Amino acid sequence: MLNFFVGWVCFLLGAIAGALIGLGFHREDWLGGYQSFRRRMLRLGHIAFFGLGFVNILFALSIDDMSIQDYLTRAASLLLVGGAVTMPLVCFLSAWKPVFRHAFFIPVLLVTGGIIAFLFGGVNIAIS
């Protein structure tokens, strides 16, 4: 399934991003210091790969046990994949140009929509 694959790709990208970012972590002044906006956005992007990778894998494993309606399954799947792609992207773009921070609503809406679609489908099945 798509979400299972995307989850594992996110883990790989998270490991690569962590290794690349880690090359400069030993310098206290790197990217303006530990508390700088740029450095925090890079760390958030790195962790977003892992966090949303887990969410996608958990979704993939969960839908086998639930008979979610097809249209809700497809919607949840695509929304969660979209969130997994856009959240690290917005984080890294925000580290590059802070104006991109205004785009955080995009991955947040995608992930929230995916979770709602998943839950709505599960609730419909539970009530039926």
Q: Write out the DSSP string of 54-101.
A: HHHHHHHHHHTTS---HHHHHHHHHHHHHHHHHHHHHHHHHHH-GGGG
Average pLDDT of the residues in 28-42: 82
**pLDDT > 90 in the chain, percent:** 68
Specify the higher pLDDT residue, 124 or 62: 62
Task: Tell me: pLDDT of 124 over 60.
Answer: no
Nearest to 2 by CA among 68, 82, 67: 82
Q: In terms of residue numbers, what domain contains 10? A: 2-127
Which has the closest alpha carbon to 128: 110, 113, 120, 29? Answer: 120
pLDDT at 1: 85
Q: How many domains does the chain have?
A: 1
Q: Rounded to two decimals, what is the model's pTM?
A: 0.87
Share of the chain above pLDDT 70, in %: 90
> pLDDT at position 88, please?
98
Q: Which residue has the higher pLDDT, 105 or 21?
A: 105
Q: In the prediction, which pLDDT does 122 show?
A: 65
